[in-house]
Chains A and B, each alone.
Chain A
Amino acid sequence: DAGVTQSPTHLIKTRGQQVTLRCSPKSGHDTVSWYQQALGQGPQFIFQYYEEEERQRGNFPDRFSGHQFPNYSSELNVNALLLGDSALYLCASSLARGPQKKNIQYFGAGTRLSVL
Chain B
Amino acid sequence: AQKVTQAQTEISVVEKEDVTLDCVYETRDTTYYLFWYKQPPSGELVFLIRRNSFDEQNEISGRYSWNFQKSTSSFNFTITASQVVDSAVYFCALPLSGGSEKLVFGKGTKLTVNP
B100 within 8 A of A: yes
A42/B101 contact (C-beta < 8 A), A110-B44, A112-B43 known:
no
Bitwise, A34-74 to B at CB < 8 A (1) or not (0) is: 01000011111100100000001010000000000000000
Contact call B43/A103, Cβ cutoff below 8 A: no
Known contacts: A88-B43, A105-B47, A109-B44. The answer to whether A56 contacts B37 by CB under 8 A is no
Asked if residues B101 and A31 are in contact (CB atoms below 8 Å), the reply is yes
Instruction: List chain A residues, Cβ under 8 A from B33.
Output: 103
**Beta-carbon contacts under 8 Å, B31-52 to A:** 33, 35, 37, 42-47, 50
- What range describes how many residues of B lie at the interface? 20 to 34
Q: Which residues of B contact A35 (CB under 8 A)?
A: 103
Task: Say yes or no: A106 contacts B103, CB within 8 Å.
Answer: no
Question: Per a CB cutoff under 8 Å, which of A45, A102, A112 touches B103?
Answer: A45
Contact A42 B108 (CB under 8 A): yes
Q: Name the interface residues of B94-111: CB closer than 8 Å to any CB of A.
A: 95-96, 100-108
The residues of B that contact A48 with a CB separation of less than 8 Å are: 101-102
A104 on the B face (CB < 8 A): yes
Complex Cα gap A109–B50 (Å): 20
Task: Report B38 CB to chain A, min CB distance, Å.
Answer: 10
- Judged by a CB distance under 8 angstroms, whether B75 is at the interface is no
> Is A24 an interface residue, CB under 8 A from the partner?
no
On whether the beta carbons of A33 and B101 are closer than 8 Å, the reply is yes
Structural contact, A104 and B50, CB atoms closer than 8 A: yes
A94 interface contact, C-beta 8 A: yes
If A35-B103, A44-B105 are given as contacts, then 20 extra A-B residue pairs at C-beta distance below 8 Å, sorted by A number, are: A31-B101, A33-B101, A33-B102, A40-B107, A42-B91, A42-B93, A42-B105, A42-B107, A45-B96, A45-B103, A48-B101, A48-B102, A56-B101, A56-B102, A58-B102, A103-B50, A104-B35, A105-B101, A106-B47, A107-B47
Chain B residues close to A by CB (< 8 Å): 4, 33, 35, 37, 42-47, 50, 91, 93, 95-96, 100-108
